Amino acid sequence: MIKEKEKFMQEALLEAKKAAALGEIPIGCVIVWRGQIIGRGHNLREQTKQTHDHAEMIAIAQANRFLNSWRLEETELYVTLEPCPMCSGAIINARIPKVYYGAPDEKAGTAGTLMNLLTDPRFNHRVKVQKGLLRRECALLLSDFFAKLRKK
Amino acid sequence: MIKEKEKFMQEALLEAKKAAALGEIPIGCVIVWRGQIIGRGHNLREQTKQTHDHAEMIAIAQANRFLNSWRLEETELYVTLEPCPMCSGAIINARIPKVYYGAPDEKAGTAGTLMNLLTDPRFNHRVKVQKGLLRRECALLLSDFFAKLRKK
């Protein structure tokens, strides 16, 4: 039986696959509130040419509209790759209480790899982090994407 | 004679005043490319209820559209208050080479106060930071705003 949190990470993986289909680095995110997905997003940076169009930012914007609030208390964020500093900052600003991520990001990960902004006691909000949820699937999607890119 | 960089910070202050007029915390930002302002923004978070609607993020989005690129190389960013982690992350992601800020942010400043993400050698881009440009004017705008708020 698939646990609920794995089901939500599968939804984030579905989002990541939408990014891959567009030639974008496959990263996906969903935001859950009271058992319901209220925000979804996948990386769209090359399509939109917008710095902020990471999966998490798009999902947060959608959840903001759903709850009609810049605060996303009582939500959980699921993302296939460890958040970068921009996305970690947005998670803190939105007061999201819990983040699940799949694969670590050795280059820009700020939820435990290079540093941990999400748990830093100097900010006015701290986030509970669970890393490595469906890590293999999340990492494989990325490594497959880059392998295909190198072949071209 | 007003130096060019002070002239641009005055423009960021003009943006901050637009935020104050809307009842938003007065923070403003401009982005300059080859001597020309290509992005402007002021804090709009309470109006739009979007987590990401900080002055810097709005200015970056506008500059992205102007240059048709998520990379903002050869630009300078002027902001009245020290950037938070989200905005510092966006500055790094956009590869902005230089940031000028006015007032320090003791609560969430990540360009020298709580930490310095912009100069952190672990990221793939490092930003030159000049702090304290028109610091008094930038700080006064904020303290006046909060003083009026407390009176209400």
Q: What is the pLDDT of residues A117-127, one digit of tens each?
A: 999 999 999 99
Record the tokens describing residue A116, joined without a space.
Answer: 């941990």
d(CA A21, CA A15) in angstroms, rounded, equals 10
Model confidence at B152, in pLDDT bands (50, 70, 90)?
confident
What's the confidence (pLDDT) of residue A76? 98
d(CA B56, CA B88) in angstroms, rounded, equals 9
* Chain B neighbors of A51, CB-CB under 8 A: 60-61, 64, 70-72, 90, 93-94
Model confidence at B2, in pLDDT bands (50, 70, 90)?
low
d(CA A81, CA A127) in angstroms, rounded, equals 16
d(CA A59, CA A69) in angstroms, rounded, equals 13
Record the tokens describing residue B66, joined without a space.
Answer: 């102007």
pLDDT tens per residue, range B20-62: 999 999 999 999 999 999 999 999 999 999 999 999 999 999 9
Q: Which conformational region is residue A80 in: left (phi greater than 0), alpha (psi within -120 to 50 degrees), or beta?
A: alpha
CA A32 to chain centre: 12
Residues 6 or more apart whose CB falls under 8 angstroms from that of B1 comprise none
Burial of B70 (0-12, 13-18, 19+ CB in 10 A): buried
φ and ψ of B78, to 5 deg: -115, 125
Interface of A with B in 46-65 (CB under 8 A): 46, 48-54, 57, 60-61, 64-65
Q: How far is A2 from chain B (nearest CA, A)?
A: 32
Predicted-complex ipTM score: 0.96
> How would you write the pLDDT of chain A (152 residues) with one tens digit per residue?
568 999 999 999 999 999 999 999 999 999 999 999 999 999 999 999 999 999 999 999 999 999 999 999 999 999 999 999 999 999 999 999 999 999 999 999 999 999 999 999 999 999 999 999 999 999 999 999 999 989 88
With CB atoms and an 8 Å threshold, state whether A90 touches B52.
yes
